[in-house]
Each structure stands twice: as C-alpha cells, then as structure tokens.
A and B are shown apart, each in its own frame.
Chain A
Amino acid sequence: MTIRKVFINLSALIVVFVFLFPVIWILLSSFKPASELFRVPLTLFPENWTSQNYLSAWRHTDFLLYFGNTMFIAIVSTILLVFISTMCGYSLAKYKYKWLNVVFICILSTQMLPTEVIMNPLLQVIRRLGLVNSLWGVILPSLGNPTAVFMMRQYFLTIPDEIIESARLEGASEFQIFTRLMIPLARPAIAALAIFSMRWRWNSYLTPLLVLTNPSRWTLQIGLRNLIGAENIEWHIVLPSALLSMIPMIIIFVLFQKQVLGIDLTSGGKG
C-alpha cells in the first residue's frame, strides 16, 4: 500500500513538473542577462540574476500603451457585456412570448458564426461604421455573446417567479424589479461572467488583429505578436514582455481561484 502511495506521489510530481516546465523555463530565462540566454550548455538557473530585461522591455516597447489599450477594452467590454447579457438573460427567462424564443434562437445561432468564419465581412461592417483603429471597433462586436446570454438566462430560470409576482403586487415597476431585486440576486452569476469576460478579452487575438492596424491602438497580444514576428527576435525583450502581459490574469486567478476552477466545472465548453 505504501509502495503505491510513493509511486502515485512521485509520478504526480513528475507530471506536474513536466506540465509546468515551459512556464518555469520562460520565467527563469527572463532573469538571465542577454549574454547568458544562448550560452551553451544551457543552465536552468541564471548565473547572474538580473531584472534588466524587464526594464528594457518596459522602455523598449510601448508596453504601457498596449497595457492601457488592453485594459480599456477588457474593462469596458466586461461592464457592458455583463449589463447587456443580464438584461437579455432576464428577459428570456422571465417573460413568456413567442417572439422571445425567436430572439433566443437567433442569439444561440451566433455560436455557429464565430469571428473566424465572418472575419472578412465583419471587418467591412466595422469599416463602414468608422470603427477601424478605434478600441470601440474591438469592444462592440464582442458584446453580443451567446455564452454570456445563455449563462444568465440559465441562472434566472432558477429564481422563482413568485418573487417577481409579489414585487409587482407591491407596485414595483418592471425596471425597479430588474435593478433592485434581480441584479442583486444574480450577483454570483454576474461575478462569474465578469471573470470569464476579463479573460476572454485580455487574451483575444483575432478581432484586435483585424481592427487595430495602427500601432498606437495595439493591444498587448498584437504588440507581442509584432515582437515575435520580427526578423531578429529580441528574446531578452520578448520573454519579460510576455510574462508581464500575464500579470492581470494571474491576479484574477489568485483572487478568484475557486470561481475560475468552479466555472469550468459547471459551464465548461461554452466559451
């Protein structure tokens, strides 16, 4: 029995190490001086630890600019997405009209039309709206999100209709019922959606690539793509930049670890 225990723990240790190794390797490499990065034989740990690369990455690239653009897109998208999807999900769950079913089917059907399929015509529409090279050109198309609407609708289905009925009898208006009663009740679902949305938008690639061609509008992902796409890749800049770009996602993961791991359990796959 103890042999089994040793075997299981040892293999788990190896597996976890292998899985995490790419992250460890890039992290340790980012602290090596540029001269040490390619020195054979490679060593796991830097001989002379330095944070110089991080400073160079900060100065060399418009890191702060990309960071700001990405943050603006992520936060504004998330606030609007949560608001719009909560309203829509509530309406789909709590009002009973035939045309609402049609709306619901239309929204779900957009899952069949990911950006990858409609990238050309979508860009034409965004261009016609004058939103090319505007952060809004990335934000607006991302707001009609079927997963988000579906998530909120499912949540509101679990809230009993009687609560709404009694509020109506007490004379509350529909808008008041939604803002004062329903939004507070939906807080767990809203929090989950917000966390999800932040991750989607922070890591999003295709739409920013299509819409934001002007370097002053780039997001972190597009800025990183440009660094790694260069003829001579400056690895001592690329590595710290890539790691720095992850900090907000790591903070979110640390703060909301339970929700992040829990969300994937219940609504996984609908991203």
Chain B
Amino acid sequence: MNQHKIYKTWAFLFTLPNIILFVLFFAIPAVLGLVFSFTNFNGFSGEFVGLDNYIHLLFHDEHFMGVIIRTTIFALIAPILGYLVSLGLALLLSDKDLVFGTVAKVLVYIPTLMSPVVSAITMRWLFGENFGFINHLLETIGLDPVKWSTDGYAAFIMVILVGIWGAGGFNMILILGRLRSIPPELYEAAKIDGASVWQRFRNVTIPMLKPITFLILLLGTISAFKEFAVIDTLTNGGPGMATTFYVLYMYRIGFERLLIGLASAGSMILFIILLVLASVQTKLQKGGEIS
C-alpha cells in the first residue's frame, strides 16, 4: 500500500513539468484567446463587445472572406501538386535501373534542411523580377519575363512552387518508406496475371499508398492553413493582398494594428478549421490502419 503511494508520487513527479507547461502555455492562452475574442482588447484595456468581432470578420471585414478563399485555394492546390511531385520523385529515385539512387535521395532531401526564411531568401533571389535567374532563362529562350513580384497571380504561383520544392524531399522520404513495405509478391502475382506496368501501378502501388497519401495531403492542408514564415519573408503578403494568407492576416490585425480582440476571434475561427481537418485526419488514419 505504501509502495503504491510511492509509485503514484513518482508518476506524478515525472509528468509534472509537462502539466505545468500545459497549463501555462496552452490552457491559459487558449482560455484567454477565447475571452479576448469577445472584447475589443488592444493590449492594455478592453471592453466586452459580445459577438461583434466574429460578426465584423465574417460579414463586414473587407479582406477576411478574400483571405479565407485564397488560403483555401492554396491549401487545396499546394498539397495535391506537392504530393504528385513527391510521388514522381519517389518512384523515379527508387527505380531498380537507377545507379545513383542513394546519392540522389540525399541531394533531393537537402532543400528540406533550409529554414522557411532561408528558402524564401533563396527563392527571392531565383525569382527576382529584374535580376532573377528564372526570368533571365525565360528571356534567353525567347519568352517574356514573368512579373513574380508585381503580378498577383504570378506571386501566388511562385508561393505554390516554393511550397512544393520545400516539402518535396520530406514527402518523398515518407512515400519511399511505404513503397519499400509493399510485398514484392504482389507485383509478381500481378505480372503472372499479365498485368502491364501501368496496371500494376494502378492496381497495386496506388492502393498500397493510400494511407500515406491521405496523411501527406492532410498534413499539407493543415500546414498550408498555418503558413506564415515563408510568405512573410518571400512576398510579405503582396503584391496587394495576393499572397496574404490566414495567419499572416491575423498577424497584421493583432500585432500591427493591435486589434487583439479581432485577431483572437480570427484565431478561434482558424482553430475550428484545424479541428475539423484534424478529425478528418483521425478518421482516415483509423481507416488506414485497417486496410
């Protein structure tokens, strides 16, 4: 009995630091954020304003809906394109005829080591409108240079390209792991049945990759909704609002205009979006375990 109490004490002591951190840096900010979202708090003082912040964002704010739509488009397109590129990389670099597979994988992984800021710097240098290598290349082969930093569509495309490039190596490694775990017998059996290369890919590889595909797409979508560091450094949300995504917009409201109440309401809406995405993720992951 006494011994039991000792175990209990140690179990508690071992988890105590994490409990304190949870309360201090998650529970309190979460509750505080919810409270702020019903006030016009500006960092020093504030009054209760009910649902005004939510109503303002959803119905009266001139940019909010645009930001949501833009972020959603980004969060749908970027992960899908990124996945396709990573899948192509994984298939190509794991091909049995490739003589430098290991080196190739390491080299493709290298951009993943860059921080968001460093990769944004690299890309600004590469995509520079008047001095970048990409436009220089386009002009050399007789095409018009692209206005990467003054045309909204071009800037949006650039942000997507940067996302694909930055996450490609990481997702490739995830897919490679899954590819390796496909039993070779499956391919052998399909071969004996007379399946072509494409049929084998379609009926063996694709179904076997399903769980990791969902995982990559969902994680990509979630991180796209949280995107901040790269666009803050790469385009600063511009030109105009063309690449101002959700978190950057909330940062502007909360830290530059000091409308903390309004920004907190926006954060609560983001929280709900992430919660929905996460519940989809858990559902799919459970589904993935069964298959």
Contact = CB atoms under 8 A, between A and B. Distances in A.
Interface of A: 4-5, 8-9, 11-12, 15-16, 19-20, 22-23, 25-26, 29, 37-38, 40-42, 84-85, 87-88, 90-92, 95, 97, 100, 103, 106-107, 110-114, 116-122, 124-125, 129, 140-141, 143-144, 149, 174-175, 178, 199, 202-203, 205-206, 210, 221, 224-225, 228-229, 235, 238-239, 242-243, 245-246, 249-250, 253, 257, 261, 264-266, 268-269
Contacts of B275: 112
B15 A87 contact: yes
Interface residues of B, number: 89
Contacts of B92: 8, 11-12, 15
B274 A264 contact: no
A144 B97 contact: no
Contacts of A122: 25, 29
A124 B27 CA distance: 13
Contact of B126 (A25, A92, A112): A25
Is chain A's binding surface mostly helix, strand, loop or mixed?
A: helix
B38 to A, nearest CB: 13
Nearest to B137: A42
Interface string B33-61: 10010000001000000000000000000
A28 to B, nearest CB: 10
Given A110-B26, A144-B25, A265-B177, A92 B120 contact: no
Contact of A113 (B26, B95, B126, B174): B26
A63 B257 CA distance: 31
A253 B229 CA distance: 22
A90 B126 CA distance: 47
Interface in B167-218: 168-170, 173-174, 176-177, 215-216
Given A23-B122, A120-B36, A268-B170, A261 B109 contact: yes
23 contacts: A8-B95, A19-B89, A19-B111, A19-B165, A40-B136, A87-B17, A91-B11, A91-B15, A112-B275, A113-B26, A117-B33, A117-B267, A120-B36, A125-B24, A125-B25, A205-B116, A221-B116, A225-B117, A229-B233, A243-B118, A257-B106, A268-B170, A269-B219
